[in-house]
Amino acid sequence: MGKFEIKEAFYLNEEPFKIISGAIHYFRVVPEYWRDRLEKLRLMGCNTVETYVAWNMHEPNEGEFHFEAGLDLRKFIQTAQEVGLYVILRPAPYICAEWEFGGLPYWLLHDPNLKLRFDYQPFMEKIHRYFDQLFAQVIDLQVTNNGPIILMQVENEYGGYANDKNYMRKMAQMMIDQGVNVPLVTSDGPWGDMLENGSIPELALPTINCGSKVKEHFKRLRTFHGEKRPLMVMEFWIGWFDAWGDEAHHTTSVAEATNELSDILDEGSVNIYMFHGGTNFGFTSGANYYEKLMPDVTSYDYDALLTEWGDTTPKYEAFKEVIRRHTAIPEFPLTTVIQKKYYGKQTVRQRVSLFETLDAISQKVRSNYPLSMEALNQGRGYIYYRSQIGPARPIDDFRLISAMDRAHIYINNQLKTIQYDLEIGQKESFVLDMAENELGILIENMGRVNYSVKMNHQHKGIKDGVLINGAFQSEWEMYALPMDNLEHINFTKGYHVGQPSFSRFVIDIEETGDTFIDLAGWGKGFVTVNGFNIGRFWEKGPQKRLYIPAPILKIGSNEIIVFESDGQVTDTVTLTDIPDLG
């Protein structure tokens, strides 16, 4: 039986232990590559890996739990131990992580009185049910049972959200009741009231999150501790994430990050965020919202020590030299063979307009008023609203009321306008010129906000209604489009220029390798490869190419489907061995 303790320092089995950890999110990496990424972490000299746990992946619909395949958290932790790493587990329920809704399940929004991240009984009951399932997977993997888990975190950056200490204490007790017997920690920014708001020092060791001025922040943490306790940066930010519309991919100074790492290890322990960022596959990327909506791109490269596709970087080598001053660096061969492949330009085989195949991929719902995604039990993707709006006449006041995030407005299947974020709700005027006219509205959920006060208002689609000449329109048909059943697309139907569409490519390959799909000339949408959604693209960048890991491909015939929403398509895509994050 092992033992991990917090005294004036960290102790593992009675010996002082400096945590040198790196963050890898298992849900952002295909499971076939978990061992490769973990081996590279160990080969840099790290002794620990940290991971969040994404509640909304494990319980995508209320009461429906998944811990298989790419969500096999237990296997990830066991693989880490096999590689020689200990584990810091951050089960949340909230993780931020630039992840859809900060890891919270969308279905929490079914409760109109919901109080996220507060001691609100219905919220606590749902967490308790989730913890029953989650901890059954990992509780015997604690170091006290000779497993690799040495620390677990309570909540995440709570001091930047609220100061409900009852909530935090109940969360910690809930974990203890589940059998957690390794030490608990909290993590917060060292600024303002964050440490005071988010810490429960009697139950969990406070740690800090920052990316610079570590010596200054360690002084603050030492004062806050009020006694001799170990110093730790739980998130040492060595890069940053990208949002659609950023001018370029974010990068940071290798020299400055290396100097900060040296300062941390001279005084305490560290978890490097991120060691390997990975990918926001599918519709999993989150968003920030302060003055405007800033949805995150598909890549979570983060300018980390490993690239999104797993290559080591100059920053990796520089960090390795700092770590070498504190511990021995192991040497062993990598066990996963990974190569990049150029498959060249591919030509579209089939194309169909979304409106032609709606009934094949979605079941029509009728309502007297438009329903939000959540009301239709839909978490992610798109939703299409349709209503008959009468004879020819001028429309002087058209508005979407309480709608998010990006809306395409059609009259008789012809695009009238696209409204994005702050444009939604603005008054539009146009003229109807047919004897009978049909209104269509395609709305995309671009990722629920993952941080701060806007999290409380994340209903997607249309929540209140649509004004036609100042009055709410009734009698709607709605199609939920989570885009998880594209095998049902009817490509024998028609394609109409300018409409949202699905384009099908078939690629025959003799050898699989990592590759990158270039969508130059395309507008906005997402891509699936053999049924796996590799993520969103958008011409505004900065990301220009999407990563396709080799395990998604197969020898022989491979199907790629590109959904494009803006009516901007070409007849080709290119699969190249060179990434482009912008």
Strand order across the beta sheet in which 15-16 lies: 4-6, 10-12, 15-16
User: CA distances (Å), 311 to each of 278, 301, 303, in order?
Assistant: 11, 11, 11
- For 432, the enclosing helix (H) or strand (E) is strand 428-432
Q: How far, in Å, CA of 534 to CA of 545, rounded?
A: 11
HEC string of 109-136 equals: HHCCCCCCCCCCHHHHHHHHHHHHHHHH
> Looking at this protein, which amino acid is placed at residue 440?
G
Q: Is 475 assigned a catalytic role?
A: no
The candidate with the shortest Cα–Cα distance to 20, out of 324, 271, 229, is 271
User: CA distances (Å), 497 to each of 199, 493, 567, in order?
Assistant: 57, 13, 7
Phi, then psi, of 153 in degrees rounded to 5 = -105, 145
The candidate with the shortest Cα–Cα distance to 452, out of 161, 114, 152, is 161
> Looking at this protein, which amino acid is placed at residue 539?
E
- For 219, the enclosing helix (H) or strand (E) is helix 214-225
Q: Is residue 235 a contact partner of residue 209, using CB atoms and an 8 Å limit? A: yes
Q: Is residue 182 a contact partner of residue 142, using CB atoms and an 8 Å limit? A: yes
The candidate with the shortest Cα–Cα distance to 266, out of 225, 317, 308, 215, is 215
At 23 the three-state DSSP class reads: strand
Q: How far, in Å, CA of 280 to CA of 299, rounded?
A: 6
- What burial class does residue 138 get, using C-beta atoms within 10 Å of its C-beta: 0-12 exposed, 13-18 middle, 19+ buried? buried
Catalytic residue (choose from 39, 235, 260, 356): 235
Q: Is residue 103 a contact partner of residue 54, using CB atoms and an 8 Å limit? A: yes
Phi, then psi, of 215 in degrees rounded to 5 = -55, -45
- For 171, the enclosing helix (H) or strand (E) is helix 165-177
Beta strands at 406-411 and 437-444: parallel, antiparallel or unpaired: antiparallel
CB atoms closer than 10 angstroms to residue 494: 11
Catalytic residue (choose from 157, 308, 374, 564): 157
Q: How far, in Å, CA of 163 to CA of 49, rounded?
A: 29
Q: Is 5 assigned a catalytic role?
A: no
Beta strands at 184-188 and 287-289: parallel, antiparallel or unpaired: unpaired
Sign of CA dihedral 209, 210, 215, 220: negative
Question: How many Cα neighbours within 13 Å face the side chain of 88?
Answer: 27
> Looking at this protein, which amino acid is placed at residue 12?
L
Q: How far, in Å, CA of 193 to CA of 213, rounded?
A: 18
Q: Which positions are catalytic? A: 157, 235
